[in-house]
Amino acid sequence: WSETVVRPDLREITDASYIDPITDDLVDGNPGVIPADVANYDVRAELFFDNGDNLTVSVFYKDILSPIEFFESAASDTTVAREIVNATSATVSGVEVEALKTLSFLSGIAGDWINMFFVQANLT
């Protein structure tokens, strides 16, 4: 269990507007936005094998007080404006699976150089 804080970016708490470089939307800052408090709960199980392979499974839950969000409003018929606001609360939960597999089992086919490589995957 841990507690963290998510603070707004400087441009999110200024009383100014800017254009989002990815969406080209107009974004209005909001000096009234406050940091979000997050309570984090995590459980993790890990298996490590003699050859260097590993498998990890994690379960997580986050309880967020005053999360920082974008609120969309129509600025005109063709333009969307977004404002930074605090919502009341939010939760996030999920499962994460990670795996690492060394490629040494291919050394008979590819040679000993393959022992230096591995494949890693993550699914959340």
Q: Where are the domains of the chain?
A: 2-52+59-94
pLDDT of 74 above 70:
no
pLDDT computed for residue 30 by the predictor: 93
pLDDT of 107 above 90:
no
pLDDT computed for residue 91 by the predictor: 98
pLDDT computed for residue 49 by the predictor: 95
Instruction: Over range 78-99, report the average pLDDT.
Output: 92
Helix residue ranges, H only, the chain? 10-13, 107-110
Long-range own/partner contacts, residues 25-30 (CB < 8 A, 24 or more apart): 25/79, 25/80, 25/81, 25/82, 26/75, 26/79, 26/80, 26/81, 26/82, 27/70, 27/81, 27/82, 27/83, 27/84, 28/81, 28/82, 28/83, 28/84, 29/84, 30/83, 30/84, 30/85
CB 83 within 8 Å of CB 18: no
pLDDT digits (tens, 9 = 90+) for 12-71: 899 998 888 888 888 889 999 999 999 999 999 999 999 889 999 999 999 999 999 988
